[in-house]
């Protein structure tokens, strides 16, 4: 019968005593105690060498583990996890970037983290992998949004403004904002444009200040300013945040690696931590979607520079140029068409659609802002 763990020492002592009497052949005695002859001889040898204490359970851990991670590497793994909250793949790549050679596999690093209680198993199970698509070149598309606001101890609520380059995941803007107004966003973008140049397109959701929640796709003051700079403005589909997925994913990292790790006192305190982490994110933190490269290796500034004066829109000789009135309305072929109050006093162009017969497209600079179906117009 199997030995009960609770009285294992008593049974071993009984075995030793019976073996000393030699009342039973050794093979029969071992069968009585449900052990092999090899185990029986082992207990006899330990008892002769150490007495009763030699019968106690011993660690089965090997004296030498050639595959066990070196202590200094394990310490670096724990330090990187503690500092940044990264997983096994990112930590392995960062150790390579630091010049280490004896680097454990990412799965081994994950086990190190688990052994030290540094992995939330529930969060690990809930982790999702999204299939993402990216633009071919830097500055083809920037994604922009506000991270949800949070309180500070002395300066009120703070909402970080974030802008990400779609191709490289390079963080363009990371600004601690006390307000989410057009002026705040425009000032932050102007600083970014003067530093990095102009992107071809910026994508946002339909919320304020860049979108119009009540009329998705309708131009706002901020959108008009961007279009006049030669930037195309696009909007995510309502209730589909994955359209701005790279910025949404950036927000998850920002929350896990910065916002959840600090109790902020002021907006200046927030900005210091954002600036510190932005440097890490862009130049040190391996990115799985980039094949474990860092964003700075895939980013280059735009050749389109920020103009000193905001240009007026230009139209072709065949366009019907119209002036938007103070109510944001134009009259096209006898029909009133509501555009946007942000366009008041500016000129738009009406031109026949290339794709639909009987439809007039309304353009502001390079961006189509509305269309008029003459077939559906009132007689």
Cα(18)–Cα(20) distance, integer angstroms: 5
Residue for token pair 């359209």: 243
- Beta-carbon contacts of 82 under 8 Å, excluding residues fewer than 6 positions away, are 118
What is the rounded average pLDDT of the residues 205-220?
81
At residue 305, the pLDDT reads 94
At residue 121, the pLDDT reads 55
Task: Name the pLDDT band for 61 (thresholds 50, 70, 90).
Answer: low
Q: Please give the structure tokens belonging to residue 164.
A: 């990400």
Alpha-carbon distances, residue 122 vs 5, 107, 261 (angstroms): 33, 18, 19
pLDDT exceeds 70 at position 5: no
Structure confidence by residue, pLDDT tens digits, 328-357? 999 998 889 999 999 999 999 999 988 888
Structure confidence by residue, pLDDT tens digits, 225-279? 999 999 999 988 655 555 578 889 899 999 999 999 899 999 999 999 999 999 9
Q: Which residue has the higher pLDDT, 235 or 7?
A: 235
pLDDT exceeds 80 at position 147: yes
Cα(149)–Cα(159) distance, integer angstroms: 4
Phi, psi of 289 (to 5 degrees): -70, -15
Q: Please give the structure tokens belonging to residue 207.
A: 């919320």
- Beta-carbon contacts of 86 under 8 Å, excluding residues fewer than 6 positions away, are 80, 94, 257, 285, 286
- The residues that bridge with 331 in the sheet, in sequence order, are 336
pLDDT exceeds 90 at position 56: no
| Beta pairing, strands 347-352 & 359-364 | antiparallel
CATH 3.30.420.10 is right for the domain spanning 142-298: yes
pLDDT exceeds 70 at position 62: no
Give the residue from 64, 66, 88 showing the smallest Cα distance to 78: 88
């Amino acid at each position: 019968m199997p030995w009960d763990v609770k009285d294992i020492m008593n049974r071993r002592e009984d075995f030793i005593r019976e073996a000393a009497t030699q009342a039973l052949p050794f093979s029969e005695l071992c069968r009585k105690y449900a052990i092999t002859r090899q185990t029986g001889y082992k207990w006899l040898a330990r008892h002769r060498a150490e007495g009763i204490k030699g019968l106690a359970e011993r660690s089965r851990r090997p004296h030498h583990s050639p595959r066990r991670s070196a202590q200094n590497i394990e310490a670096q793994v724990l330090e990187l996890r503690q500092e940044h909250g990264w997983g096994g793949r990112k930590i392995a790549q960062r150790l390579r970037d630091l010049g280490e050679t004896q680097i454990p596999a990412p799965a081994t690093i994950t086990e190190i983290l688990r052994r030290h209680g540094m992995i939330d198993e529930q969060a690990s199970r809930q982790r999702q992998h999204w299939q993402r698509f990216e633009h071919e070149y830097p500055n083809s598309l920037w994604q922009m949004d506000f991270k949800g606001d949070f309180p500070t101890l002395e300066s009120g609520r703070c909402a970080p403004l974030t802008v990400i380059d779609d191709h490289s995941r390079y963080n363009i803007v990371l600004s601690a904002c006390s307000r989410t107004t057009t002026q705040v966003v425009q000032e932050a973008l102007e600083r970014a444009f003067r530093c990095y140049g102009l992107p071809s397109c910026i994508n946002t959701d339909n919320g304020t200040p860049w979108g119009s929640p009540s009329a998705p796709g309708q131009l706002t003051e901020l959108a008009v300013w961007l279009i006049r700079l030669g930037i195309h403005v696009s909007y995510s589909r309502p209730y589909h945040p994955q359209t701005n997925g790279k910025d949404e994913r950036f927000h998850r990292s920002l929350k896990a690696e910065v916002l959840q790790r600090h109790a902020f006192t002021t907006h200046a305190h927030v900005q210091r931590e954002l600036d510190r982490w932005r440097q890490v994110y862009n130049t040190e933190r391996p990115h799985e979607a980039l094949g474990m490269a860092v964003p700075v290796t895939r980013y280059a500034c735009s050749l389109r520079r920020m103009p000193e004066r905001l240009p007026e829109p230009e139209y072709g000789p065949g366009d019907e140029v119209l002036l938007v009135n103070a109510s944001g309305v134009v009259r096209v072929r006898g029909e009133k068409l509501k555009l946007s109050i942000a366009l008041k006093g500016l000129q738009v162009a009406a031109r026949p659609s290339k794709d639909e017969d009987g439809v007039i497209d309304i353009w502001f600079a390079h961006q189509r802002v509305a269309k008029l179906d003459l077939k559906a117009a009132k007689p």
